[in-house]
Structures are given as structure tokens and as C-alpha cells.
Amino acid sequence: MTTVEQQGTSLWQDAWIKLSKNYLALFGLVIIGLLCVLSVLTPWIAPYGYEEQNLLLGATSPSSEHWLGTDVFGRDMLTRIMYGGRVSLTVGFIATAVALLIGVLWGAVAGYVGGRLDAMMMRIVDIMYALPFMIFIVLLMVVFGRNILLLFIAIGAVEWLTMARIVRGQVMSLRKQEFVEAAHSLGLSQWTIIRRHIIPNTLGPVIVYTTLTIPSVMLLEAFLSFLGLGIQPPQSSWGLLINYGVETMEEYPWLLIFPGVTLSLTLFALNFLGDGLRDALDPRVSKD
């Protein structure tokens, strides 16, 4: 064990070192981690039942029994925000996953195959870009009813376009790089090249864009729920809670403020994490 090997830092180690110096991004990571854990554990740790009403109590401001107060039906706000968070985060993650799957496959095929197929696939993306999707989602919700599964698909179908463009650009530039040519001339198989060289090198931008897609998806869900076109009661989401909060904000402002702060904080955390990852994973940003 005497040979001292000069250990090069891999892209991932390097990224982690950079990320761990970015306190705002770390803060975002911690917040998101906490929210995910809380959401998973909600049915066991929520202080009250989700539909547990206490009409005699009514709306109360925050107290030691109800940390975030209660709504007009005497329901515990903390509990409702926790359950709402489950839905909001689920929509955020699943719709992003749909976008990720379609976008990466589409972009990778177009970029790797190239030629006519590429031109055709990207023209489709161009045309879809020009469609006003926000309006189409509203339309979909109106026509087919406000169904959570449809919401995933509709939002996912909007968000994959940019992902496809990013992946295609990345794959196309990688195909022409010397190290890929070198791998070819060394006789590596097509699949090995894709697995060892292409995929790891597209992962950075994909991860960054995914982190930035989640908040925009959550925002879209909250927007629709706020208008009454997204998540429907008895299910709950932060957008819906904000909608209720607005109705009674003159008398009970905390019913608006707490879900609002929770949503904003989550979006804040995800955006900071995304920005931090972008700085960390972009090799063009020098190691300083």
C-alpha cells in the first residue's frame, strides 16, 4: 500500500465540494429534505386528523394547541398545510418526472440519431413551443374535469419541451467531442459509449433543469388550484389553502399567511438549490 495514487476529483465530487460552499443552496437542500420527510410521515405525525372539525372552536389565531391556528371550521392549520404539502410536492415531483422522461428520451434520440429524424422531431418541439399551454391546461381541466392524474399529464406534457432541447443540444455537441471519437477508435461498443460517456455528461444539465422545473410545476398547480381549476376538495394543496385564505383574510389573516409562506419558502428553497447546482455542475465555471 505504498503507491500514492494522485486521486483526481470526479465531476460529482467537484460539484459536491462547490455546492457545500454555497450556503443558500445547502439551505435549500435542507428545507426540501425536511419537507419531503415531513410529507411522507404526515399521516403518522400530523397533530390532528385531516378532516377533524371543531365548530365550537372556529377560527383561532396560533396557540400552544394549534401552532398555526385553526380555520373557520376549527380545523388545525398545521395539519392541513402538511396534508396540502403532500399533494403539492407529489404533483411537483410526478409531473416533473413525466417531463423528464419524455424530454430526455425525445432529446436523446433526436440528438443521437440526427439527420432527418432530428429535424422532424425538433420541428414538432418548435410548434408545440408556440402553443399557449397555460390556456390549454385550463381548457383541459374544464373539459375533462378536475382530475389529479390529468393534471400530472397536462403539466408534464408542457414542461418536457425545454428538457428535450437541452438534452438534444448536449448530446449533439458530445457526439463530436474528441473523447467520444477516441472511444470509437478504441473499439468500444455503441452502448458502452452511450452509457459511459454520453449519459454521464448530459446528467449535469438535466439535474439542474429538473430542480428548476419542480418549482415551476408546483407554481402551476397552485395557480390552477387557486382559480379552482386544479386540486379539488376534499383533497387539499397549498394553492387551494391560499384560495381559502384569501376569502377570509380580513378577519383571519393567518389563514392566508401560513400557507403562503410555506409555498414561497419551498419555491425559494428549490430555486436556490437549482441555481447552486447550476453553478456546481457547470464545468465552465472555474474552480475557485
Binding site for other proteins (CB under 8 A): 126-127, 130-132, 134-136, 138-145, 215, 219, 222-223, 226-229, 239, 242-243, 245-246, 249-250, 253, 256-257, 260, 263-265, 267-268, 271-272
d(CA 183, CA 190): 9
Q: Which residues of 156-186 are buried (b: 16+ CB within 10 A; e: fewer)?
A: bbbbbbbbbbbbbebbeebbeeeebeebeee
Q: For the chain, state the CA radius of gyration.
A: 23
The nearer residue to other proteins, 54 or 147, going by C-beta atoms, is: 147
The nearer residue to other proteins, 108 or 141, going by C-beta atoms, is: 141
User: Least distance (Å) from other proteins to the CB of residue 133?
Assistant: 9
Closest CA to 112 of 190, 31, 49, 222: 190
The nearer residue to other proteins, 50 or 268, going by C-beta atoms, is: 268
The nearer residue to other proteins, 235 or 248, going by C-beta atoms, is: 248
User: Least distance (Å) from other proteins to the CB of residue 96?
Assistant: 17
Contact 236, 83 (CB under 8 A): yes
Contact 88, 237 (CB under 8 A): yes
Q: 253: cis peptide before it, omega within 30°? A: no
User: Least distance (Å) from other proteins to the CB of residue 244?
Assistant: 11
Could you tell me which residues are beta bridge partners of residue 253? none
User: Least distance (Å) from other proteins to the CB of residue 221?
Assistant: 11
The nearer residue to other proteins, 30 or 142, going by C-beta atoms, is: 142
d(CA 71, CA 11): 49
Phi and psi torsions of 248, nearest 5°: -115, 25
User: Least distance (Å) from other proteins to the CB of residue 267?
Assistant: 4
Residue 275: CB atoms within 10 A of its CB come to: 17
φ/ψ bin of 75: left (φ > 0), alpha (ψ from -120 to 50), beta (otherwise)? beta
The nearer residue to other proteins, 26 or 138, going by C-beta atoms, is: 138
User: Least distance (Å) from other proteins to the CB of residue 140?
Assistant: 7
User: Least distance (Å) from other proteins to the CB of residue 256?
Assistant: 6
User: Least distance (Å) from other proteins to the CB of residue 48?
Assistant: 25
Contact 31, 266 (CB under 8 A): yes
Could you tell me how far CA 98 lies from the centroid of its own chain?
Answer: 11
The nearer residue to other proteins, 40 or 265, going by C-beta atoms, is: 265
Phi and psi torsions of 70, nearest 5°: -130, 160
The nearer residue to other proteins, 5 or 251, going by C-beta atoms, is: 251
